Amino acid sequence: MRPVIITVGEDGNTGRYYRNSMLSLAYSDAVSAAGGLPAAALDNRHPEDYVAVADGLLLSGGQDLACGTYGELRPLKYDYPISSRMRDTFELALCRLFLEAGKPILGIGRGMQVINVALGGKLYQDIQMETGRAHPDESAASHRNDGITKAAEFSFHPIRTVEGTKTAAILGETVEVSSCHHQAVKTLGTGLKAAAFAPDGIIEAIEHECLPVLGMQFHPERDAGAIKADPRMFEAFIRLCGEVAK
């Protein structure tokens, strides 16, 4: 049987009586193409049950984590949407349970930030506001989004992986990626290390020092203009799930 990979969607409402869970099919398509069996985690009341039945956890992209989840009392900006408290709580609980079980986790975009926060790390609420960087080069365009409309657009830039990391073994020394984020890892959580950087110094990938955990700020699951979907991280993740499940 294929490794079972669960993921959580973004909460959405279609009216007074209905609540939806929205998830891009790009994630499930990428998992399936890599040899996994994608499944949605919809019951947030019992996160521990998913650890028992799933081989891996995919933490997908989405809206900002609430700043309170990493110990900050007040948001710096109010023009970016944040995810529901329900999604934040559910994903952080799932992440910590999978970490405790030693089962593989792959975090993409927001998902990488969830991993970091679950392990006690901090985030830049807004890269430009907190770092004061001018970001003059085009490679940093995706780190300068200023508003919801622009935040939905993907920009392209190279990243350089850190020698000796799993990410470097999977992707090589440099790779062109697509990303869309105004937040980023500020301080690393316990046991995590940076695995790739953008030219402006922003951490673009993380991994755990001893657990099967990979995270990336960029989005390899989808085509974005000249940048095509890259299956390599998904293939490596599914292999990890198969190895741990044996």
Query: Which residue bears the tokens 């790390």?
Result: 121
pLDDT of residue 235: 97
Sole residue written with tokens 């506001």 = 129
146 pLDDT above the threshold of 70? no
Amino acid, res. 52: A
The confidence band for 152, taking pLDDT boundaries of 50, 70 and 90, is very low
> Does the structure show a pLDDT above 90 at 157?
no
Q: Which two tokens stand for residue 210?
A: 């001893």
Distance CA 117, CA 95 (A): 10
Give the confidence band of 139 by pLDDT, cuts at 50, 70, 90: very low
Q: Report helix, strand and coil shares of the chain as percent, to nearest 5.
A: 35, 25, 40
- Binned at pLDDT 50, 70 and 90, residue 148 comes out as very low
Q: Find where tokens 């799932």 sit.
A: 94
What's residue 19's pLDDT? 61
Q: Is residue 141 pLDDT above 50, yes or no? A: no
DSSP state of 174: E
Cβ distance 218 to 232 under 8 Å? no
Contact 191, 208 (CB under 8 A): yes
The model's confidence at residue 20, banded by pLDDT at 50, 70 and 90, is low
Q: What is the pLDDT of residue 81?
A: 58
Instruction: For domain 4-245, give the CATH superfamily.
Output: Class I glutamine amidotransferase (GATase) domain (3.40.50.880)
Length in residues, the chain: 246
Residue 178, pLDDT > 70, answer yes
* pLDDT the model gives residue 2: 94
pLDDT of 143 reads 45
At 82 the pLDDT is 63
Would the pTM count as exceeding 0.85? Answer: yes
Reported as a single tens digit per residue, the pLDDT across 75-97 is: 776 555 566 788 999 999 999 99
Structure tokens at 209: 């020092």
Provide the pLDDT for residue 147.
36
Q: Where is average pLDDT lowest: 8-17, 118-127, 171-180?
A: 8-17
Please give the Cα distance from 110 to 116 (Å, whole number): 10
pLDDT of residue 135: 35
What is the rounded distance in angstroms from the CA atom of residue 190 to the CA atom of residue 201? 20
132 CB contacts (<8 Å, ≥6 apart)?
none
Query: Helices 110-118 and 85-101 sit at what angle, rounded to 10 degrees?
Result: 60
